[in-house]
Amino acid sequence: MTTTERKYPAPAVNPEIKPFFDAAAQGTLMLKKCGACGQAHHYPRAICPFCASDRTEWITAAGRGTIYSYSVMRRVPVPYAIGYVTLEEGVTMMTNIVDCDLDAIRIGQRVKVVFKPTDGGPPVPVFTPA
């Protein structure tokens, strides 16, 4: 089952997270990594959620990962797959699984990032089978 795409609502960008979406517009997936405890996190914050340090830095993610979980929303005009993808950098992020047969999606499947335009905002990272 391949479908036409649903419209992506625009993310509400604020100064703390603007670099993430500026990078997304260039086709790059960014994460925040802490200079104090060395751990990456998502969604990106100025303050590390693990150790409360403000020494967080933007890093470029490889954009590859595996599907941790997903669900295909059926009772809507355009069915779509929401999912969580665990990146090679170790963090898991909410996303959509796109450009594939929705019935063939599986947990553990390898995926890679692609960016989709939103309704009046910057593009957002979604994933497609690698």
Where is 84: in which H helix or E strand? Answer: strand 80-87
- Using the contact rule CB under 5 A, the part of the chain among 9-17, 48-56, 83-91, 114-122 near Zn ion is 48-56
Distance CA 66, CA 113 (A): 11
Tokens of 117: 């335009």
Point out which residues pair with 121 in neighbouring strands. none
Contacts of 23 (CB under 8 A, 6+ apart): 29, 30, 58, 60
Closer to Zn ion by CB, 45 or 116: give it. 45
Distance CA 130, CA 120 (A): 28
Q: How far is the CB of 116 from another protein (least distance, A)?
A: 9
Instruction: Map tokens 């391949």 to a residue.
Output: 2
# residues near another protein by CB under 8 A: 46
Residues 70-99: x/- map of binding to another protein (CB under 8 A)? xxxxxxx---x-xxx-x---xxxxxxx---
Q: Is 37 in the site for another protein (CB under 8 A)?
A: no
Closest CA to 63 of 104, 93, 33: 93
Q: How far is the CB of 22 from another protein (least distance, A)?
A: 13
Q: Is 111 in the site for another protein (CB under 8 A)?
A: no
Q: List residues binding Zn ion (CB under 5 A).
A: 34, 36-37, 48, 50-51, 53
Q: List residues binding another protein (CB under 8 A).
A: 6, 8-14, 17, 21, 39-45, 48-50, 68-76, 80, 82-84, 86, 90-96, 107-108, 118, 124, 126
